[in-house]
Amino acid sequence: MTDLTTLEADVLAQVAAAGDLAALDAVRVAALGKTGSISGLLKTLGAMSPDERKERGAAINVLRDRAQTALNDKKAALEAAALDARLASETLDLTLPAPYRRKGSVHPTMQTMDEMVAIFAEMGFAVAEGPDIEDDFHNFTALNFPPKHPAREMHDTFFFNTKEDGERMLLRTHTSPVQVRTMLSQKPPIRIIAPGRTYRMDSDATHTPMFHQVEGLVIDKGIHMGHLKWTLETFLARFFESDTVTTQFRPHHFPFTEPSAETDVQCDRSGGEIKIGQGTSWLEILGCGMVHPNVLRACGIDPDEYQGFAFGMGVDRLGMLKYGMPDLRDMFASDGRWLAHYGFSAFAAPNAASGLS
């Protein structure tokens, strides 16, 4: 048995001495490979008597198992050491600056919205807000849309699934529900604008499924169309920083105003860019009118005592016109190059004292 003890000590010493995976594999082949020292011992069993084979065979198997275990343990240790060495050499310095850092900028829609708020604030309007997810009452019913009227569908409304109580919430199709919320929560005189996001199933060069509006509402005694026209013309001249803005008021129909009008701004679209104050095109930028008596009544205001006007403007479209962007869809494509080109400095917030843009 001494030969086995010596061989075991020898193999274990070689395993311990192996400095890398290649050396360890050479030890494995020399001991357990086809012609290895331990494999060779197993081959001598055939020439032995059954009793001798039983005893000797068991001893050789024990030796083989011990050698295999030592090889496995050493392999795991060498692999762990190799991984540690790799982790130590492959460092990543997260504090290094990124190769390309674009400066953030204010989106043209937000810039336009800020400019509009600055102008209307100067004209004495307060800012009101309402939720993007509305109910049928605020978006339609209180605004004098008759039940089941096709105008509800004409708004290309995004409806949510019908709830258990039969109610169907929706994404507001305009900021006009904020008129209703304001009249229900405060007494006249009222002078507010309501900026916010609105949604309709529509997409082309001048429509996107999500867009922005600024609603206006004035309720007081003796309000008439003249006040409305003056307010809009004063706003547009201030916004476009020009007296040469030409507008056209077209008679229109909205269920919530009577009479109603749509306003277009004259522009030129010929050179792939949009320019105001010239050209033969018109871009519709707002709807307006005198608040319908039914809307006043739905909001608890006596139409014989109070009158008012309202308007709703497309913010993104006003931005397109002012800053010469030809396609509304680009505004929401999140293209860094577009934003770098059309974006505004966050330090130049528009205000009445230092200017708009």
Using rule CB under 6 A, residue 228 touches ligand PHE: no
Confirm or reject binding of residue 263 to ligand PHE (CB under 6 A).
no
Query: Which residues make Cβ contacts (< 8 Å) with residue 30, sequence separation at least 6?
Result: 14, 36, 37
Q: Which of residues 302-331 bind ligand PHE (CB under 6 A)?
A: 310-312
Name the residue whose CB lies closest to ligand PHE.
Answer: 312
Span of 41-49, 64-72, 144-152, 252-260 interacting with ligand PHE by CB under 6 A: 252-260
What minimum distance in Å lies between the beta carbon of 310 and ligand PHE? 4
Tell me if the bond preceding 189 is cis, omega within 30° of 0: yes
Q: Compute CA distances 259 → 251, 293, 309, whole Å.
A: 8, 11, 10
Burial code of 76-106, b = ≥16 C-beta within 10 A, e = fewer? eebeeeeeeeeeeeeeeeeeeeeeeeeeebb
255 binds ligand PHE (CB under 6 A): no
Pick one of 188, 289, 308, 343: the residue that binds ligand PHE (CB under 6 A). 289
Closest approach, Cβ 143 to ligand PHE, in A, equals 8
What's the min distance (Å) between Cβ of 256 and ligand PHE? 6
Closest to ligand PHE by CB, 108 or 287: 287
CA dist 143 and 147 (Å) reads 11
Of these, 28, 172, 174, 212, which contacts ligand PHE (CB under 6 A)?
174
- Given 36, 108, 177, 287, the residue binding ligand PHE (CB under 6 A): 287
* Start-end of H helices in the chain: 2-17, 21-32, 37-43, 50-89, 108-122, 136-139, 151-154, 177-185, 225-239, 293-298, 315-323, 336-342
Rank residues 63 and 214 by Cβ distance to ligand PHE and give the closer one.
214
Q: At its nearest, how many Å lie between ligand PHE and the CB of residue 249? A: 12
What is the distance between the alpha carbons of residues 301 and 223, in angstroms, rounded to a whole number? 14
Under rule CB under 6 A, which residues in 192-221 are in contact with ligand PHE? 215
Residue of the chain from 38, 245, 288, 321 that contacts ligand PHE (CB under 6 A): 288
With respect to ligand PHE, which residue has the nearer C-beta, 109 or 260? 260
Alpha carbon of residue 5 to chain centroid = 72
Closer of 277 and 303 to ligand PHE (Cβ): 303
Nearest of 213, 232, 244, 203 to residue 317 by alpha carbon: 213
If 0-12 CB within 10 Å is exposed, 13-18 middle and 19+ buried, where does residue 258 land?
Answer: middle
Q: How far apart are CA 7 and CA 14, in angstroms?
A: 11
CB of 354 to ligand PHE, least distance (A): 31
Residue with tokens 């396609």: 327
Residues 105-164 that bind ligand PHE (CB under 6 A): none
CA 167 to chain centre: 28
Kindly indicate which of the ranges 22-30, 111-119, 243-251, 283-291 contains the residues binding ligand PHE, using the contact rule CB under 6 A.
283-291
- Separation CA 338–CA 319 (nearest Å): 14
Site of interaction with ligand PHE (CB under 6 A): 174, 176, 215, 254, 257, 260, 287-289, 310-312
